[in-house]
Structure 1
Amino acid sequence: MTDLLRVKRLTAQLLAAPADSVLTVAAHFGAMQGQDLGAVLWALGQRARSSGKPATVTTVRDSFNRGEVVRGWPMRGTLHAVPAADLGWMLSLTTERLMRGAASRRAGLGLDEQTLDRARSLAIDLLGGGHGATRAEFLEHLERNGISTESSRGYHIIWSLSQTGVLCWGPFRAAEQELRLMDEWITNPTVLDRDDALCEFFSRYINGHGPATLSDFAAWTGLTMGDCRTAVRLATERGRVHPFLHNNESYFVAELTEPGIETTGPRLIPLAGFDEYYLGYRARDAVIHPDHAQRVVPGNNGMFKPVLLQDGVAIGTWKRKATSRGLLIEVSPFEPMPKRQLQHDLELVFQPFADFWETPLRSVTTE
């Protein structure tokens, strides 16, 4: 991928210039991978401003607390942060296939329809009338009423009820989210027919990821190729996306622009783990050299470390440790970094991260 296409992605990903609110970020992307709660809070926050200032963790949590953004499982069986109003139409496209694909796993756990129906009734009893429950409280409620949550059963019950539109992760209680009834917490859902939903899904994906391809979208959503082609056709016909050829492959963008008008933003960017810039495409060779990929996801175990970008390319991973005196950041570069400017540059890079978490930056070291 050329440097120009990489710059366009940085712009689409709101890493070159932030949006004006957390909800605007979520709506721009459609969905942002969010199985790691702390990671998705930073992924949203580093792309947003609030009242003209950089967003903080309080800003992002407030957006969840107001019911603007929720976490759910709109695709691929993976938690994502999405605009609350959009979760329903996303599920309408993906639920049937995902539930069918998980049938053998549910059977292996002894989660038949009768058990799930009972869990659904218990969820409504516990959460109805605007009540919330933490994960632990919800699972305890199931156990008290005769439904075992051992051996991943609890997770799959929550997943199944969320996938079928009963539950979502809503407001915060301290540092964790509460489960809420989806039809109570999401008060003004957007309702779309299938064609409109497919068009919207692809349009949102390209808003936040373009330039990207049909195969990128298929990998991101887990939809059938037939549905993906329909989504591309509708979004193109309606002028929501625009195709162009690069190396004999069709890419799509939200707007056609002249070369060179995008701004690159900061040269060094600390991405969250599971960030859309890294995970939101079928191929990652535009972001990282293949020799370094195992450093980000060791053993292909599915756990993606936070990545440090330089000019849109991954140059290392990083991790944080919270202490009573502030954050300790450790950077693990893939290749030796220039020592003269290293410390000063990295402290400048990670100061906004500490500011986001509303805590001092104690130190930044390299491995």
Structure 2
Amino acid sequence: MSHPDDDDSLSRARARAQLLGGGRRGKTAEDVVRRVFAIQAQDTTAAGLGIRARGQDLTARAVRAAYEQDRTIVRNWFMRGTLHTIPADDVGWVTRLLAPRVLAATRHRYRDLGLTDDLRHRTDALIGQALAAHGPLTRAELAERLAVIGVDPTGQTPFHLIRHAALTGLLCHGPLRAGEPTYVLLDDWLPAAGERGPTEDAALEELARRYLAAYAPATVDDFACWSGLAVGAARRAWQDLAQAAAIVTDGDATVLARRPEDTGDQAGSPDVRLLPAYDNYLTGYRTRQESVDAAFEARVWPGGGVIRPTVLLDGQVVGTWARGSGGRAIAVDPFSPLAAQIQVEVDREATAITRFLHPPPVSTMA
């Protein structure tokens, strides 16, 4: 897609689009999620840190309030059938667009587990009844109720049945309880989620537009890889945007013809961010070489599906990091020695993460 000499400018442009470069940051958790459209959210802590890295002085309390009190952002299974956080008012149309392909791709797994069409429909009904009667329930609590009709509460069976209920539009993630996710009825949690929104080709085009706003410069193959859509469907969305003169293509890379406004952004450099594990900056494209030097890929992707937390400098990954014992100390492992100015910014980010994960107690004094 690009020549080696172009990778630096490409990664800088992508970092800016993802609110990770050029001083760009969102003002609130909702603002961050809306501007980058989706935050990778397999892990609840990593999802919060992904929002933090893109926001201006955001606290964990503010992020949780966006999920649970304001309900402006929602965690559920979307792109590629994996957990993401997206704006609440996009849940309905995105689920209707992406879920059928995920469900079809999972049929062989359902068959292996003995989850027939009839059993899945019965468990959907039982899950709906349980959530309607008892409110938010954890995975273990739902598994206990499913055991009544003979569903094995151990292994992967409860997960697949809960995810099936989410992909069919029945439930979504609700409030955390003692740090553990719970599930709620989507229509109760977000009464407006059932509103139709864009459908069919219009929904495809809208998803492509949202992707380009948050990930460009990118290719149609990048979009297909990120979304989980068939390449043919992805190309159709690209064609629709091209016919509407909404995109500009230079070689293979595509950007929106009218880019989002950069109001309030500062173009200072260097821009250092500490990204969490599995961050979508590293999963939003088909290839990795534009953001991670090939010599260091194994230190970011050690195998087993793991993507380590990374140190990002102006769009380039320059190291990894981890939380030490107790989770308060941040240990940074740079690929090469860092300049003093960069180290100062890394230390500032590490302090911000510690403060985010371990905020000072709220004073109860008047």
Task: Give TM-score scaled by structure 2 length.
Answer: 0.87
2:135 equivalent to 1:135: no
In structure 2, do the counterparts of structure 1 residues 87 and 130 end up closer, same or farther at CA, with 3 Å as the change threshold? farther
In structure 1, the partner of 2:59 is 56
Instruction: Answer whether contact 2:173 2:181 (CA < 8 A) is retained.
Output: yes
Secondary structure (helix, strand or coil) at the match of 2:320 reads: strand
In the alignment, the residues of structure 2 paired with residue 197 and residue 265 of structure 1 have an alpha-carbon distance, to the nearest angstrom, of 37
Instruction: Answer whether contact 2:217 2:253 (CA < 8 A) is retained.
Output: no
Instruction: Answer whether contact 1:11 1:262 (CA < 8 A) is retained.
Output: no
In structure 2, do the counterparts of structure 1 residues 268 and 250 end up closer, same or farther at CA, with 3 Å as the change threshold? closer
2:154 pairs, out of 150, 162, 186, with 150
In structure 2, the partner of 1:22 is 29
Secondary structure (helix, strand or coil) at the match of 1:349 reads: helix
Secondary structure (helix, strand or coil) at the match of 2:328 reads: strand
Instruction: Answer whether contact 1:33 1:79 (CA < 8 A) is retained.
Output: yes
In the alignment, the residues of structure 2 paired with residue 212 and residue 79 of structure 1 have an alpha-carbon distance, to the nearest angstrom, of 22
Unmatched runs of 5 consecutive residues or more in structure 1? 361-367
In structure 1, the partner of 2:40 is 33
**Shift, 1:42, TM fit:** 1.0
Q: Which amino acid aligns with 2:211?
A: Y
Secondary structure (helix, strand or coil) at the match of 1:331 reads: strand
RMSD value over aligned CA atoms?
2.3
In the alignment, the residues of structure 1 paired with residue 355 and residue 257 of structure 2 have an alpha-carbon distance, to the nearest angstrom, of 32
In structure 2, do the counterparts of structure 1 residues 104 and 8 end up closer, same or farther at CA, with 3 Å as the change threshold? same
Flag the structure with higher strand content: 1
In the alignment, the residues of structure 1 paired with residue 117 and residue 315 of structure 2 have an alpha-carbon distance, to the nearest angstrom, of 47
Q: Which moved more, 1:204-213 or 1:18-27?
A: 18-27
Instruction: Answer whether contact 2:139 2:158 (CA < 8 A) is retained.
Output: no
1:172 pairs, out of 176, 197, 200, with 176
1:305 pairs, out of 301, 305, 308, with 308
Secondary structure (helix, strand or coil) at the match of 2:208 reads: helix
Instruction: Answer whether contact 1:7 1:263 (CA < 8 A) is retained.
Output: no
Unmatched runs of 5 consecutive residues or more in structure 2? 1-5, 361-366
**Shift, 1:145, TM fit:** 4.4
In the alignment, the residues of structure 1 paired with residue 14 and residue 172 of structure 2 have an alpha-carbon distance, to the nearest angstrom, of 30
In structure 2, do the counterparts of structure 1 residues 129 and 45 end up closer, same or farther at CA, with 3 Å as the change threshold? farther
In structure 2, do the counterparts of structure 1 residues 160 and 211 end up closer, same or farther at CA, with 3 Å as the change threshold? same
Deviations 1:78-120 (A, max 9, x none): 1111112212211222222211111111111111122212211
In the alignment, the residues of structure 1 paired with residue 88 and residue 232 of structure 2 have an alpha-carbon distance, to the nearest angstrom, of 27
**Shift, 1:209, TM fit:** 0.7
Alignment: residue pair count: 346
2:17 pairs, out of 3, 12, 20, with 12
Secondary structure (helix, strand or coil) at the match of 2:175 reads: strand
- % same residue: 32
**Shift, 1:149, TM fit:** 2.5
In structure 2, the partner of 1:210 is 216
Runs of 4+ in 1 over 4 A off after TM superposition: 340-345
In structure 1, the partner of 2:350 is 350
**Shift, 1:346, TM fit:** 3.1
Task: Give TM-score scaled by structure 1 length.
Answer: 0.87
In structure 2, do the counterparts of structure 1 residues 179 and 77 end up closer, same or farther at CA, with 3 Å as the change threshold? same
2:78 equivalent to 1:74: yes
